[in-house]
Amino acid sequence: MRNGIISLLAVLFGLIAGAILMAVTGNNPVEGYKYLFEGGLKNLSRIGNTLATATPLIFTGLSVAFAFRTGLFNIGAAGQMLFGGFCAVAVGLTFDLSRPVLLVMMVVAGFIGGALWAFIPGLLKAKFNVHEVVSTIMMNWIAYWTVYYAVPAYFKGEFLETESKKLPESASLRTPILTEMFDGSYINLGLFIAAIAVIIFSFIINKTTLGYELKAVGFNRDSAEYAGIAVNRSIVTSMVIAGGLAGLGGVAFYAGNATSIQIGILPTQGFDGIAVALLGANTGIGVLLAAIFFGLLYSGRGFMNAMTEIPPEIADSIIAIIIYFAATSILIDRMIRFFINKKKNRQPVATQNNAQKKEEV
Amino acid sequence: MWTVIQQIAPYAIIFTIPLLITALGALFSERSGVVNIGLEGLMVIGAFTGALVILNMQEMMPGQQKAIWIGLALATLMGLLFSLLHAFASINLHANQIISGTAINMIAAAITVFLARNITGSGNIQISTLKPFNVPFLSDIPVIGSLLFTRTYATTWLVLAILLVSAFMLYKTPFGLRLRSCGEHPHAAEAAGISVSKMRYIGVMISGAFSGLGGAVFIVTTGGEFNGTVAGLGFLALASLIFGQWKPLGILAATLFFGFATTVANVSQVIPSLAVIPPVFLKVFPYVVTLIALIVFSKSSQAPKAVGEPFDSGKR
């Protein structure tokens, strides 16, 4: 509840800051937002694209959130997503099998690829106490160069050196039914996998022993160890699952939203995953909502850019500012407390208790 | 082999210098106790400011190098100002420093391109770069002359001078001692009458200023174009800081390593003795070595003890 209010206020401040940015650069903010939201919601096809844009963000958001629950900072979702996506595309381009079998194999390959890429930082953290922030950044660049050379060497596209061959229809997550239902949008089966992932994520975190152990390690590593939890194993497990989730994001992106894998780009969804997780307060449902909101901003910005002079980077700016406000949530926290105290002005005892409770939270 | 080293040395040094100045700034920040993962964003701010200022100044005074120096100075200033966002969040608001730094990276990347499009109509800003020169007399010295003193940039010497001054300040002045104490034992520092907040602000601001300069140096020496990124140099600077074990000379060695490794990877295809190695190995080499170095150093890490922890005066 409290996190929800903080997130909503952060979003509000971000939108206000975006409006100020539009205004100082000589544009009309009301018009800007009108076209931004129309661009994401105006018709079925745009709604479909919004959901499709949100899909990889759900996965990377879940990935960062999952690691965060164990007190780990997964900055490497981009690399995990890239490598997972590469593995899935490689499977899709290599095997000629019936569609259901092939898709399942691709999903599994994507998960394993991402998991492998996060397993290394997890292991280094558990065994040698190497900080995962630096090691995941290194893994991002290793993934970048691996894919950079592997794609042209083994899966070169027909026309461009910089992307792989197009995936055949049997290896695409897009289905005619969905595409028709959303008027030719690129919405795809990835969204359903993402919904399942959200449910499994929430189940693991809230209802299982594993989730309890991971959270315990996240709260206090030492006391978790004292309580007999295998801290090192928890760290590795958490990173592997987080990486696998990011890998699935790669599957959804490269085999669903796109039809091939490009080289020379670290997918920005990996870094946006940090934003999604933070805004979603590291909960499953929060990540889902935050990802859809960011999906809306990202898919609407093109239309806004076409209709106004406002550069599309306004969407990225708004998201980044939201994250800054979410990170400095203590400021918002103080404001909320200030208003609560003002209301309860006449009950000093209650106010004091209230304030104390806030401190503990 | 020697000729190869001679050939690539100037390029390696060009790559090293922005990395060095940025990592050096981060040294001040981390020694004062604040992790600054926003280096990449601060460099982008510097690169953008530098490019924009130089573009405008070059129109006003064509063909003059002075424009570039004004651009570098303002880039330093903007880096410093922008880093205040991180300082405020991590020092006053006790925010998670890694999240705050990530926010800095995201804001910088988005806002600079947004502004570039608004101001120049394009997300790319092209400028003419600094002219390299041969150092008189010194470049005539047989071996090291061609290695160190030919085709050098003035910024290289500036950054090396800053390195010397920084090392002196950190280890030989009361200021340096105070700053370092805030990163090791902030409570003891406070008990000794040092304002931990003030020291940490200074640390982060130096980091911002140096990163801003680093970003601008990057585009006036190699790039010649601002396009919204500094190609991961900020993250590499962070790795250099850790690889260099939070020491000025260590950082110099680490950044030179990255400079040479990256240049070798970039030019490997045109040098016969290197072309036999698959380029992917050369490209991932610096990152793999960093991972290995992290493992090796993990037992004896020289990280400031209180780095990353918000300072709470009431908690001991």
Q: Are B4 and B273 in contact (CB under 8 A)?
A: yes
The structure tokens listed for A356 are 């104390």
Residue B301 has pLDDT above 80, yes or no: no
Residue to substitute from B102, B245, B258, interface A, most A β-carbons within 10 A: B102
Q: How far is CA A94 from CA A107, A251, A253, A278, B229, in A?
A: 14, 15, 19, 38, 35
Tell me if B287 and A138 make a contact (CB, 8 A cut-off).
yes
Tell me if A328 and B93 make a contact (CB, 8 A cut-off).
yes
Helices (H), B268-308: 272-275, 279-297
Show contacts of A145-149: CB within 8 Å, 24+ apart. Answer: A145/B280, A145/B283, A145/B284, A146/A83, A146/A86, A146/B280, A146/B284, A147/A82, A147/A83, A147/A86, A147/A261, A147/A263, A148/A263, A148/A264, A148/B280, A148/B283, A149/B278, A149/B279, A149/B280, A149/B283
pLDDT > 70: what percent of chain B? 98
Query: Would you write out chain A's pLDDT as a tens digit for each of its 361 residues?
Result: 677 888 899 999 999 999 999 999 999 999 999 999 999 999 999 999 999 999 999 999 999 999 999 899 999 999 999 999 999 999 999 999 999 999 999 999 999 999 999 999 999 999 998 989 889 999 999 999 999 999 999 998 888 888 999 999 999 999 999 888 898 889 999 999 999 999 999 999 999 999 999 999 988 888 998 988 999 999 999 999 999 999 999 999 999 999 999 999 999 999 999 999 999 999 999 999 999 999 999 999 999 999 999 999 999 999 999 999 988 887 777 777 777 787 776 555 444 444 444 444 4
Predicted confidence at residue A14, as pLDDT, reads 94
Q: What is the mean pLDDT of chain B?
A: 89
Q: Are B154 and B130 in contact (CB under 8 A)?
A: yes
Q: Which residue of A has its CA nearest to B283?
A: A145
Residue to substitute from B266, B280, B290, B301, interface A, most A β-carbons within 10 A: B280
pLDDT > 90: what percent of chain B? 57
Closest CB from A150, A274, A317 relative to B102: A274
pLDDT in tens, B151-178: 788 899 999 999 999 999 999 999 999 9
The structure tokens listed for A22 are 């539009």
Task: Look at domain B1-315 and name its CATH class.
Answer: mainly alpha
More confident residue, A126 or B307: A126
Tell me if A313 and B107 make a contact (CB, 8 A cut-off).
no
Predicted confidence at residue B126, as pLDDT, reads 85
Predicted confidence at residue A1, as pLDDT, reads 67
Strands, DSSP E only, in A130-173?
none
pLDDT in tens, B201-234: 999 999 999 999 999 999 998 777 898 888 889 9
Mean of the pLDDT values across residues B80-85?
Answer: 97
Closest CB from A21, A142, A149 relative to B288: A142
Residue B87 has pLDDT above 50, yes or no: yes
- Cβ of residue B232 closer than 8 Å to a chain A Cβ: yes
Q: Which residue of A has its CA nearest to B119?
A: A25
Q: Show me where the domains of chain B are located.
A: 1-315
Predicted confidence at residue A360, as pLDDT, reads 44
Predicted confidence at residue A345, as pLDDT, reads 67
Q: Are A76 and B291 in contact (CB under 8 A)?
A: no
Using CB atoms within 10 Å of the CB of residue B76, give its burial: 0 to 12 exposed, 13 to 18 middle, 19+ buried: buried
pLDDT in tens, B134-145: 777 777 777 777
Q: Are B39 and B212 in contact (CB under 8 A)?
A: no
Residue B61 has pLDDT above 80, yes or no: no
Tell me if B111 and A320 make a contact (CB, 8 A cut-off).
yes
Q: Which residue of A has its CA nearest to B286?
A: A138
SS3 B214: helix
How far apart are the C-alpha atoms of A185 and B248, rounded to whole Å?
54
Mean of the pLDDT values across residues B67-76?
Answer: 93
Q: Which residue of B has its CA nearest to A137?
A: B235
Tell me if A311 and B239 make a contact (CB, 8 A cut-off).
no
User: B63 pLDDT band (50/70/90 cuts)?
Assistant: low
Contact residues on chain A for B299, CB-CB shorter than 8 A: 128
Q: Are A273 and A246 in contact (CB under 8 A)?
A: yes
Domains of chain A: 1-342 (1.10.3470)
Tell me if A313 and B98 make a contact (CB, 8 A cut-off).
no
Q: What is the pTM of this model?
A: 0.90
Q: Are B94 and B197 in contact (CB under 8 A)?
A: no
The structure tokens listed for B57 are 């100044």
- Which residues, other chains included, contact B144 with Cβ-Cβ below 8 Å and sequence gap of 6+? none
Closest CB from B88, B280, B295 relative to A149: B280
User: B316 pLDDT band (50/70/90 cuts)?
Assistant: low
How far apart are the C-alpha atoms of A74 and A72, rounded to whole Å?
6
How far apart are the C-alpha atoms of A271 and A275, rounded to whole Å?
7
Using CB atoms within 10 Å of the CB of residue B164, give its burial: 0 to 12 exposed, 13 to 18 middle, 19+ buried: exposed
Contact residues on chain B for A328, CB-CB shorter than 8 A: 88-89, 93, 95, 100
Between chain A and chain B, how many beta carbons pairs sit less than 8 Å apart?
A: 126
